[in-house]
Amino acid sequence: MKVNKIKQALKEGKTVYGPFCKISDPTMVELAALAGFDFIIIDMEHGPISVESAQNMVRTAEARGIIPVVRVTENNETLILRTLDIGVRSIQVPQISTKLDAQSVVNATMFHPKGERGMCRYVRAADYTNIDKVDHFGTANEGVISIVHIEGLEGIKNLPEILDTDVDVIFLGPYDLSQSCGVPGQVNHEKVVNKMQEAVTLAKSKGKAVGTFVESVHSAKKWEEIGVQYISYSVDVGLVLNTYKSIISGLKEKELVRV
């Protein structure tokens, strides 16, 4: 069984960092790896990435030594199964609001006795049958990490029950939570921050790792100090755009000075 480095790091109390990726070109995965990120989230929910594209991006991640995480489009057994079958072992599932939602994620990601994941040896996850079937079905659970998104007040309210399931990471989505709190987009509003802090404290008391999304180093450090270990830092398209804008701003400023 291959060790899931994210799962291992979180158990050891370490913090890991990685961006969301919406651009389907595997080059983006290579760049994140070369920059030194721990993981990259291949985003199938809010982007055009298909399962086929994700598979090639996963191959690139493995070749470059960065952990590929895939966010599926929804909490759907078939979508989760197809994602796991291409060799993904770190999976994020959006819009988790109840214990039943969380348990369905566990059922879809784990083989018996923990879940009811569909069984097939003729997939990349089992090296196309090159891994012995007893070894594959017997040890795959140990290498899978499930990350569930709590994105609204209903999920926050039901968090105590959600924490009783075998999901590995509670991911707090600040943008959707801000909308649920009545302050859409205001991710630093006290209503949002207070709810997130309460959730972090509760999850940590139950021994669960917590993740969230940030858009600055300052914000990352703040949440890390509060106890968040799985930190998603911005999105590839935004990072590229902001870099371009910064460059062109500097260039035009220089032109004005010369005139």
- Number of domains within the chain: 1
In a domain? residue 49: yes
| pLDDT band for position 86 (cuts 50, 70, 90) | very high
99 vs 102: CA distance, rounded Å: 5
Please report whether residue 172 resides in a domain: no
Taking alpha carbons only, the member of 17, 29, 36 closest to residue 57 is 29
Assign residue 62 the CATH number of its domain. 3.20.20.60
Per residue in 185-199, pLDDT tens? 999 999 999 999 999
For residue 221, is it within any domain? Answer: yes
Q: Does residue 20 belong to any structural domain of this protein?
A: yes
Averaged pLDDT for residues 69-85: 97
Q: Identify whether 183 is part of a domain.
A: no
Domain extent for 44: 5-150+212-258
Predicted confidence (pLDDT) at residue 114 exceeds the cutoff of 60: yes
**In this predicted model, what pLDDT tens digit does every residue of 134-163 receive, in sequence order?**
999 999 999 999 999 999 999 999 999 999
CA 46 – CA 257 distance, rounded (Å): 41
Please tell me the number of Cα atoms within 13 Å of 65 on its side-chain side: 3
What is the model's pLDDT at position 9?
A: 96
Q: What is the pLDDT of residue 2?
A: 76
pLDDT value for 3? 84
The tokens describing 168, both together, are 């590995």
Look-up of token digits 């995965």: 29
Mean pLDDT, all residues of the chain: 95
Nearest-angstrom CA–CA distance, 5 and 80: 20
Inter-residue contact 42 to 54 (CB < 8 Å): yes
- Confidence band (pLDDT; 50, 70, 90) for 255? low
Query: What angle (nearest 5°) sits at the alpha carbon of residue 75, between those of residues 69 and 77?
Result: 95
CB 212 within 8 A of CB 171: yes
All residues at 6 or more sequence positions from 221 whose CB lies less than 8 Å from its CB, including other chains? none
Q: Is the pLDDT of residue 240 over 70?
A: yes
Q: Is the pTM of this model over 0.85?
A: yes
Is the separation of the CB atoms in 46 and 175 below 8 Å? Answer: no
Instruction: Provide the pLDDT for residue 234.
Output: 97
* Per-residue pLDDT, 253: 81
**pLDDT > 80? residue 169:** yes
**pLDDT, average across residues 41-66:** 96
Residue 105 in any domain: the answer is yes
What is the rounded distance in angstroms from the CA atom of residue 175 to the CA atom of residue 143? Answer: 30
If residue 19 lies in a helix (H) or strand (E), which one and from where to where? strand 16-21
| pLDDT of res. 29 | 98
Classify the C-alpha dihedral 48-53-55-61 as positive or negative.
negative
